[in-house]
Structure 1
Amino acid sequence: MRIFGREPALVLNTLAGLLGLLVTFQVGGLTSEKAGWIVASVTAVLGAVAAAMTRPIAVQAFTAAVATIASAVAAFGYEAAPTYVAGINGAVLAILMFITRGQVTPVGGTKPDPQISA
């Protein structure tokens, strides 16, 4: 299964990073606590969806768990500004996706591109 022609883990983690970017710019005048809850929740939910859509599940579940924990610690453990929470979340997601990208595949596998195999 693909989303917009891309692998689901890539799309969903990019979406989580972009939502974190919205929090960075404090769209809607978010407080630090609300921003922390939003970033951690979105990262957890989209990470769980991506894990369900990829194999092996463990790689994407680990990525989501680490990013969620990093966001939560930044938001609630250190009372960091929303910009720091979103920045940490984006950096963790980017690094982990770079490391784990080659280790996951969409649930249905990938189909050869007919233009390439010709």
Structure 2
Amino acid sequence: MLVPKYGRVVAFEGYELTNNNARIKATEQRIAQLERAAEVETSKREVFEGCTIVENTEENRLQIIFDGKPAPEVRAILKSHAFKWAPSQGAWQRQLTNAARYAGQQVERQLKEVIG
């Protein structure tokens, strides 16, 4: 933006150009991360009969799918680990991150204790 300042025309203010290289580098790293994530395929594992954990890379979600409606104590475990019910997917899910993978392991461990 051309702004007259002190008798001269300034194309950009100093603060507008600050940190450009860091922004470029962060954007390039994010693009590389998204490209790596796109290469990973969806995986499924059955925790026990009637419960499956899915790493859905197309939706970028970690999903826990039950055959029917889970018991209140199972829903409490899922909610305590930030899983939300998604009626459109028919699954309890959260964004697929390393933290979600860890939470999925914790839920799996707790479900095995509760259900047996």
Higher relative contact order at CA 8 Å, sep ≥6: structure 1 or structure 2? 1
Question: Structure 1 or 2: larger strand share?
Answer: 2
For normalisation by structure 1, the TM-score amounts to: 0.36
Structure whose alpha-carbon radius of gyration is higher: 2
Higher helix share goes to which structure? 1
Task: Give TM-score, length-normalised by structure 2.
Answer: 0.36
